[in-house]
C-alpha cells in the first residue's frame, strides 16, 4: 500500500512542528499510512510558489491553504483522508 506524502508549510518553525506532529497522530488514529514532512524555510516555501500563502498543507498534487493549523483544521483533514483511505489510498 503506497504511503501518502503530506507536507505542512509555514514559516513559523514551532507551529509547523506542532501541527505536523499532531497530524501524524491523527492520521495514525484514522489508519492512514502517511509520511508528514515539515517545511518552514522561507526559500523552500517561495520555490513552491506559496510565499504569503501559508499556512498550507500539500498532498497528492494539491495545496490546501489554511486559515490556521489549529486542532479543528487538522482533525477535519485527517477525518477526510481517513474516509478516502478505503478508496483512493487503500489496497
CATH of 4-85, one of 3.40.30, 1.10.10, 3.40.50, 1.20.1070: 3.40.30
Q: Which of 7, 3, 5 is nearest to 66 (CA)?
A: 7
The predicted pLDDT at position 2 comes to: 63
* pTM assigned to the model: 0.88
The predicted pLDDT at position 3 comes to: 85
| pLDDT averages per 10-residue partition of the chain, 91 residues | 87 97 95 95 96 94 94 95 68 44
The predicted pLDDT at position 84 comes to: 81
Contact between residue 81 and residue 89 where contact means Cβ atoms under 8 Å apart? yes
Amino acid at each position: 500500500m503506497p504511503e501518502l506524502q503530506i507536507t505542512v508549510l509555514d514559516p513559523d518553525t514551532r507551529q509547523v512542528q506542532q501541527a505536523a506532529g499532531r497530524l501524524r497522530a491523527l492520521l495514525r488514529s484514522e489508519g492512514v499510512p502517511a509520511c508528514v514532512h515539515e517545511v518552514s524555510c522561507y526559500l523552500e516555501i517561495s520555490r513552491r510558489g506559496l510565499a504569503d500563502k501559508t499556512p498550507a498543507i500539500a498532498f497528492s498534487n494539491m495545496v490546501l491553504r489554511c486559515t490556521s493549523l489549529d486542532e479543528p483544521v487538522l482533525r477535519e483533514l485527517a477525518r477526510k483522508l481517513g474516509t478516502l483511505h478505503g478508496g483512493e489510498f487503500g489496497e
